[in-house]
Structure 1
């Protein structure tokens, strides 16, 4: 009993010693980030003093526009509309990209057969597919989700493909020596866990790319943040443009922070 208690106390002490520096480091990073934001706003304000308001509005003008758009409900409506195609586009594109990356990264036959098609389609930007999106799905959320899914697919595909292809042969040999024989067992037990850092990095990168593609996917008339930015640009309402850019940035920051926490937990074994 005495040994068990002593071990428990020792472990508790180690946890406390490692927890305090982590908290201090997080606070330090948050403080540095706050300094960076303040410096950026100050530089923005100074630059706005030598530019016309229709070129670069000052921070107070943007704050006023933000309040007006929020009070009218325009920001809420635009954000809700964008989420309706961002979520399915990101989920479908990410899922298909990871699946294709695993299959082609593991199977030499599938990789050889698909390589010409992949190399032909990869250089095509998602914006070039807007015509197909309109013809196939119409001017609606499905068409916008298609554009977003294409962008998410390629990022996740190449990240997963590289991770699977780079799995150490030594790990596979060890697994086979432990009677892990079939391809399905090897992929599930060895390949996916070993490639998970690259896979999750691709997912995180794809999430950010999907928010960028939200604007691109809405330029043909689908309601959302992108259409509001386009409308304000046509009317030279630069303060409103910056307002919706900030909304987009905040949404990306929230999603990225949440996913980063998940990523740290999943990869805690490293």
Structure 2
């Protein structure tokens, strides 16, 4: 192998993944890891192939994507709306931000017991957990974007006779969306 290939990051990453799966397969094949608790990569790939062929994989994948989409959409609507309102009106932010800052550090997994009590084991519980994982980052991104806007745009609109509603809908929202929309990748990842 040439030295250039060994220094290529993608080659090293592929080599690391290959070594990981090879060690995993070897440990399972030698019986050092219980194949019932942690099946080998070959067994996992076989089960994946079987599920893809019988269609059950696509049904479960669709259900999971639906849960993520619904929870994320709700989080974006609520987080962005609260972020816009709190960023625009400091009086509202004084009431809302302490609640957000108190709840935001709690990981979504810690909400599972109370979520089961509130919603049971159905889809509503899944929607709620995805919502909790994404609403706080969406709020913070929106609030930060609104508070960081250039005030010269606001002042220019006011000088041109913009009403407060026009200032909010025609200046604040479009100007902050350029910052908010790329920042929504983080809550989607969460």
TM-score bucket of the superposed structures, by smaller chain: 0.7 to 0.9
1:150 deviation in Å?
1.1
Is the Cα contact below 8 Å between 1:175 and 1:186 reproduced in 2?
A: yes
Change (3 A) 1:73 1:188: same
CA deviation profile, 1:39-96 (whole Å, cap 9, x unmatched): 53343223444453437956x6654443223123332122122123212111111110
Is the Cα contact below 8 Å between 2:145 and 2:180 reproduced in 1?
A: yes
CA deviation profile, 1:122-165 (whole Å, cap 9, x unmatched): 21221121122212211000111001011111111000000000
Change (3 A) 1:48 1:124: closer
1:194 aligns with 2:167: no
Equivalent-residue separation in structure 2 for 1:204 and 1:151 (angstroms): 12
Q: Which residue of 1 aligns with 2:36?
A: none
Matches within 5 A, 1:13-32: none
Is the Cα contact below 8 Å between 1:162 and 1:198 reproduced in 2?
A: no
Equivalent-residue separation in structure 2 for 1:153 and 1:49 (angstroms): 39
Q: Which residue of 1 aligns with 2:4?
A: none
Q: CA RMSD in A?
A: 2.4
1:101 aligns with 2:101: no
Q: TM-score, normalised by structure 2?
A: 0.79
2:14 to 33, 37, 41: 41
Q: Which residue of 2 aligns with 1:115?
A: 97
Q: State which drifts further: 80-89 or 104-113.
A: 80-89
Equivalent-residue separation in structure 2 for 1:40 and 1:61 (angstroms): 23
1:75 aligns with 2:75: no
Give ranges in structure 2 of 5+ residues lacking alignment: 1-7, 34-38
Q: TM-score, normalised by structure 1?
A: 0.58
Change (3 A) 1:168 1:154: same
Q: Which residue of 2 aligns with 1:20?
A: none
Is the Cα contact below 8 Å between 2:100 and 2:136 reproduced in 1?
A: no
Q: Which residue of 1 aligns with 2:153?
A: 171
Equivalent-residue separation in structure 2 for 1:126 and 1:47 (angstroms): 29
Q: Which residue of 2 aligns with 1:160?
A: 142
1:131 to 113, 123, 139: 113
Is the Cα contact below 8 Å between 2:78 and 2:135 reproduced in 1?
A: yes
Change (3 A) 1:196 1:138: same
